[in-house]
Amino acid sequence: MAEGSADVSSSLTVDHLVKEYRVGGGLLRRRASVVQAVSDVSLSIEAGKTFGLVGESGCGKSSLGRTVARLQTGESGSIRLGGDEISRVSGRSLRAIRRRVQFVFQDPYASLNPRKSVRATLAEPLAIHRLHRGQESRRVSELLEQVGLNPAHADRYPHEFSGGQRQRIGIARALAVEPEVIVLDEPVSALDVSIQAGVLNLLDELQGRLGLTYLFIAHDLSVVRHLSDRVGVMYLGRMVEQGPVDRLYEHPMHPYTQALLSAIPVPDPKVERARQRIVLRGDVPSPVSPPSGCRFRTRCWKATEKCAIETPELVDLGEGQSVACHYPAERTVF
Amino acid sequence: MSGVGQAVSGELIGEQQSSTGSAVQIMRRFLRHRLAMPSLVVLVLLLVVCFGAAVIAPYPRGLQDLLLGPTGPSPEHWLGTDEIGRDYLSEILYAGQVSLAIGLAVAVLSTLVGTALGAIAGYVGGWIGELLMRITDLFLIVPAIALIAIIVQGLGPSPVTIVLALAALGWTYIARVVRGQVLSLRERDFIDAARGIGASSVRIIASHLLPNLVGIVVVAMSLSVASAIIVESTLSFLGFGVQPPDTSWGAMLSQAAGYVGTDRVYLLYFPGLFILVTVLCVNFIGDGLRDALDPQGKQL
């Protein structure tokens, strides 16, 4: 099924993905409006690497992640895992895909069934995919050890664990089927800062040990920088800029990326006082009726008439960086 | 880590409980429940004395003593006698067979059907869910008593047809409650997580949704025991219920309804008391089960 164009070493390739949600409507009111949560987004992740996806809440990054993990189905576009197209599979082949792509949820309190012990939660994927038959108990202990939890606590229930421990259980559940790709949907944003580092280091370590490929979704840019090889910035359902992590952080070309980066506080008070922050005015427009042309133009200080008429395409600027802006320009934000 | 505090408190409650199997744990929590355990004892006692009435009842069924007539409670007749001199305690025990059987059978039947259909309507949704919910709406707008009366009349008023008629209406209430709960549970991440690891719809409903529904289902079930006993008594009052010589607590209640304000009012109190005790017991047992099945084990 390899489509030739795909990079051989690329583990996950998303091409022109569109995910829509219907809003309103019902049995009697036929008129429903459509929100394009993800519109025409492409990205690719090399095997064993991490792609960081950032953006404000509501920009479609979680929708993209859920679609990639096939928790939902996109309207159009393709998702390729290795050489296999997975965006449309269903039934038995979808179940096979579940073994290869896993998902870690943002909220460790909502993502674990309160009525299931840790053992039951971790044994379920093994039972579904008939893995480690007869050895389930050993595998559960192994998984718990892998994520830094005490295997002796396997018979406890989620409420007996802290947020960070629960997130580790969520990670263990994802690891249970030995996946190639894990979509991490803001895995640490619900945790205390003191615990975040531990979970991030765990993810890093697991990637090194198991050769995992991550799609790491976050709104915290410093977290993303620490973990990612490539970073993409989304705004209102569109990818506005992506590139290798250092390139993007040091030479952001899109005004939105620059604004986001300028919001990161600098731990040095002198620098912090001296630097100039870009403060965006207004709110993110409603995704039900996004602005014409460039979706960022309503909040952009560079916007011209052209931005309202023509939708900027992602243009390759070299060194793996591409940007969707009519007036890309470097600007030092640190 | 800030999780230390929680981990330690988990240690304290966790150690004795978590090491044992969950069935044992549930049993233990239920046995410790202050209201549920005595209620279970009382209900079992009621079942034993009612269904063992042939052995236990002090007088044979329907034995009349026309010369004696109605008397109040006395050492010979603990609960007195009715207007044709039958021992009231014996009558109540025999009547209890019908009432308890109808109450429990209706509750079990309507809970099974209601939970299954409600869970499907909530989880699957679409036109199936829509159809199921319109059917329950239909039952809501049709006057229940009239409908049951017609069904019972059409099929012949035996306890079995009464159970079927009551269950045919009773499941809609439970289906509604269950569907509402499923609709909210369905949006929770752990259901998505189950789908994400490849769980089938059947597995998600059976293994993830139903255990989280136990609380409301148990409560709805205990309420439906109560309402079945009461609706049956209404039917008996209207003449559509169990027919003589069979009798039920509801039938006895309605026969005695005219004695309010007379010295024979005890004929009203005793069947009423038995209904009350049964309904309360079932409710407390329901509470106890709900608490015992909740792993967070809220202590009373």
pLDDT of residue B24: 79
State yes or no: pLDDT of A121 exceeds 60.
Answer: yes
Looking at residue B16, its pLDDT comes to: 39
Residues of A in contact with B198 (CB under 8 A): 94-95, 98-99, 125, 128-129, 177
Do the beta carbons of residue B283 and residue B223 sit within 8 Å?
yes
Q: Report CB contact under 8 Å: A115, B212.
A: yes
B chain contacts of residue A94, beta-carbon cutoff 8 Å: 198
Both tokens of A295, joined, read 């979706």
B215 min Cα distance to partner chain A (Å) = 12
| Nearest-by-Cβ selection for B10 from A99, A129, A156 | A156
Q: According to the model, what pLDDT value does residue A333 have? A: 62
Minimum-distance CB partner of A164 among B1, B208, B296: B1
- In this structure, the strands spanning A76-81 and A10-23 are antiparallel
Model confidence band, residue A334 (pLDDT cutoffs 50, 70, 90): low
Interface residue A177 vs chain B (CB under 8 A): yes
Give the distance from residue A161's alpha carbon to the nearest chain B alpha carbon, in angstroms. 6
Q: Is B10 on the interface with A (CB under 8 A)?
A: yes
C-beta atoms of A161 and B3 within 8 A: yes
The answer, for B184 touching chain A at a CB cutoff of 8 Å, is no
* A34 in Cβ contact with A22 (< 8 Å): yes
3-class state of residue A176 by DSSP: coil
Distance CA B206, CA B187 (A): 16
- CB-based contact B295 A112, cutoff 8 Å: no
B56 pLDDT higher than 80: yes
Determine phi and psi for B181, rounding to 5 degrees. -65, -40
Does the structure show a pLDDT above 80 at B209? yes
Q: Which residues contact A97 (CB under 8 A, 6 or more apart)?
A: A70, A81, A84, A86, A89
Q: Does a cis peptide bond (omega within 30 degrees of 0) precede residue A125?
A: no
State the pLDDT at residue A28. 59
pLDDT tens for A319-329 read 889 999 998 88
How high is the pLDDT of residue A31?
64
pLDDT of res. A26: 60
Instruction: Give the separation between CA B16 and CA B217, rounded to whole angstroms.
Output: 29
**Under an 8 A CB cutoff, do B197 and A177 touch?**
yes
Enumerate long-range contacts of A257-263, CB under 8 Å, 24 or more apart: A257/A233, A257/A323, A258/A331, A258/A333, A260/A54, A260/A221, A260/A233, A261/A221, A261/A333, A261/A334, A262/A333, A263/A221
Question: How far is A295 from A286, CA to CA, in rounded Å?
Answer: 10
Compare A39 and B239 and report the one with higher pLDDT: A39
Is the minimum CB–CB distance between A160 and chain B shorter than 8 Å? yes
With a pLDDT cut of 70, the percent of chain B lying above it is 91
Nearest to B7 among A112, A116, A162 (CB): A162
Is B189 in contact with A110 (Cβ distance < 8 A)?
A: yes
- B131/B137 Cα distance (integer angstroms): 10
The answer on pLDDT for B214 being more than 90 is: no
DSSP per-residue string spanning B201-223: HHHIIIIIIHHHHHHHHHHHHHH
d(CA A238, CA B148): 60
pLDDT confidence bin for A280, thresholds 50/70/90: confident
pLDDT confidence of A30, banded at 50, 70, 90? low
Measured between beta carbons, the chain B residues lying within 8 angstroms of A115 are 211-212, 295
End-to-end CA distance of chain B: 31
Where do the domains of chain A lie, and which CATH numbers do they carry?
45-75+83-228 (3.40.50.300), 250-334 (no CATH)
| Residue B18 pLDDT grade (very low, low, confident, very high; cuts 50, 70, 90) | very low
Answer whether A164 sits within 8 Å of B192, measured CB to CB: no
- Measured at the CA of A141, the angle between CA B206 and CA A120, to 5 degrees, comes to 10
Q: What is the pTM of this model?
A: 0.79
Chain B residue with Cα closest to A113: B190
* A8-45 per-residue burial string, b: 16 or more CB within 10 A, e: under 16: eebbbbbbebbbbbeeeeeeeeeeeeebbbbbbbbbbb
Using the Cβ of A275 and the Cβ atoms of chain B, whether some distance falls under 8 Å is answered with no
Q: Return the higher-pLDDT residue of A227 and B297.
A: A227
Pairing of strands A315-318, A321-323: antiparallel
| End-to-end CA, chain A | 46
Residue range A7-25, pLDDT digits in tens = 445 589 999 999 998 876 6
Residues 200-229 of chain B with CB under 8 A from chain A are: 203, 207-208, 211-212
Among the partner-chain residues B22, B197, B296, the one whose CB lies closest to the CB of A159 is: B296
User: Which of residues A303 and A5 earns the better pLDDT score?
Assistant: A303
pLDDT for res B299: 41
Domains and CATH numbers, chain B: 2-293 (1.10.3720.10)
